[in-house]
Structure 1
Amino acid sequence: MLNEFKLLVFHKVATEGSFSKAAEDLFVSQPAVTKQINSLEDELGIKLFERNNKGIVLTAAGKLFLEHAGVILSQFKRLKNDMSLLSEQVSGELTIGASTTIAQYVLPPVLAQFRQANPSLKLTLLNENSETVENLLQRHEINLGIIEGLPKNNALQYTLFIKDELVLITHKASIYYRLEACSLNDLRKSDLVLREKGSGTLEVFEDFIGQYGLSLNDMNTLIQLGSTESIKLFLKHADAIGVVSIQAMKEEIMRGEFKVIELEEGRIFRNFYFVHEKGTSEKLVSSFVSFLKNRYNVQV
């Protein structure tokens, strides 16, 4: 019968390219590894490995099975972590400060699930720009920050969460909607809508164009707004291009209401970070961070 251990043994042998190394990593005997692989091949009715002068290699079937085995093992791990968190309910008050994109488009579904798993927990989410979130942490007004942009405060600890992408967008009624791509030089001549000073989105965009010798002063900025939703609403009534997170635009792009204009110089990536004060550790914060990482399939 196919089970987690059999998959794990196969995955180890396939990635290590050695029965003996897999046995060593799994703290079992080599005959035990061989037995599991033989049982798996018998169950599937097909050979997963073959020998050559370099050792063992995957067959075509083995390569396909490896792809699926990796996904299944990852889901096993996520399931066990989730069950562990659910069986160890946490309580108390958790106040999170998150920059706008994260607070509006990333956290709400996960907060609902975390609250359902921990019914005695009181949750508060503050929606601020990255700079303000860092200040709130240092004033001990929040337990955890989750921000976009570049780490810059030496008094705080930053831990990578997930990657995000900034994109150029325009509304279907705009004169720019016909564009498929543009260069930074083209963008300089276009009307832009950007986020406000202090936002992680603006900071990352500024850093990107700086790599090409440009500054915000070189851009034709119509207006700077305090949220992505404000940018979207503004663009519905203006011939302009906005710079926002792809997280905020998935539904509108699928509907054809907005489109992404590719940037010829390349894509603009950024990181989302967990932020807390150095030297601090709270079980409640750790539980939430683990829960959030599991939801986004981040290696814990």
Structure 2
Amino acid sequence: MDLPFALTQARALDAVVRHGSFSRAAAELGLTQPAVSMQVRQLETALGLPLVERMGKRAFATRAGELLLEHSARAVRELETAVQMLQRLRGRVAGRIRIGTSASLSIYVLPPVFRSFRARHPDVELIVVTGNAPEIAHAIVANHRGRAGASPPPSWPSIR
């Protein structure tokens, strides 16, 4: 069976739904907002169903969008894992690190750390999202962030 869409379109949909915004999704993906809108629109056309409901400036997944994201997220993770394994065979580190952090850490502490990391690992995509400690904690619990830092750290039992 041929897939009627590209992984880049599924990633665009994922980013739009996670951020609730086409503009913030575009910033994460390094694209323009119209490019992200076009990718989602092409995906909706290819599948014949609306995947995103727009309410004012917010965007939410429809039931069809949720169903697609549930399955496409697993597929994308598996493909990313395969690429990382292949990169390791070549002696390189590759992949994506999603980090949630407080604004103060992202402004004053992390920039030199990220510059150093990028110099050593150019094939690793760093995605940094700032927020307050409760937002970051919710994102970790919901598995939207792999690592996070906040000052002071949140005192949630499910987060170490």
Whether 1:14 aligns to 2:17 is yes
- Distance in 2 between residues matched to 1:6 and 1:63, nearest whole Å: 14
The residue correspondences of 1:42-121 to structure 2 (distance < 5 A) are: 42-53=45-56, 55-88=58-91
Whether 1:23 aligns to 2:26 is yes
Which secondary structure does the structure 1 equivalent of 2:5 belong to? coil
Contact 2:21 2:57 in 1 (8 A): no
1:51 shift after superposition: 2.0
Which secondary structure does the structure 2 equivalent of 1:56 belong to? strand
- Distance in 1 between residues matched to 2:55 and 2:35, nearest whole Å: 22
1:6 shift after superposition: 1.3
- Distance in 2 between residues matched to 1:4 and 1:52, nearest whole Å: 25
Pick the structure with more strand per residue.
1
Q: Name which structure has the greater RCO, CA cutoff 8 Å, separation 6+.
A: 1
Bigger radius of gyration among the two: 1
1:86 shift after superposition: 2.2
Which AA in structure 2 matches 1:17? G
Which secondary structure does the structure 1 equivalent of 2:59 belong to? strand
Deviations 1:70-121 (A, max 9, x none): 11111111010111122339xxxxxxxxxxxxxxxxxxxxxxxxxxxxxxxx
1:53 shift after superposition: 4.7
2:137 paired residue number: none
Which secondary structure does the structure 2 equivalent of 1:65 belong to? helix
Which secondary structure does the structure 2 equivalent of 1:28 belong to? coil
Which secondary structure does the structure 1 equivalent of 2:87 belong to? helix
1:54 shift after superposition: 6.5
Count of residue pairs the alignment pairs up: 91
Unaligned runs of 5+ in 2: 93-145, 148-160
2:41 paired residue number: 38
Which AA in structure 2 matches 1:63? E
The Cα RMSD (Å) is 2.1
Whether 1:5 aligns to 2:8 is yes
1:52 shift after superposition: 2.5
Deviations 1:99-148 (A, max 9, x none): xxxxxxxxxxxxxxxxxxxxxxxxxxxxxxxxxxxxxxxxxxxxxxxxxx
- Percent identity over the alignment? 32
Which secondary structure does the structure 2 equivalent of 1:57 belong to? strand
- Distance in 1 between residues matched to 2:23 and 2:47, nearest whole Å: 23
Contact 1:14 1:66 in 2 (8 A): no
Unaligned runs of 5+ in 1: 90-298
Contact 2:16 2:59 in 1 (8 A): no
- Distance in 2 between residues matched to 1:23 and 1:53, nearest whole Å: 17
Cα distance 1:37–1:54, how it changes in 2: closer, same or farther (>3 A)?
closer
Deviations 1:25-68 (A, max 9, x none): 11111110011001100111110011235622111111111111
- Distance in 2 between residues matched to 1:45 and 1:76, nearest whole Å: 25
- Distance in 1 between residues matched to 2:9 and 2:15, nearest whole Å: 10
1:237 paired residue number: none
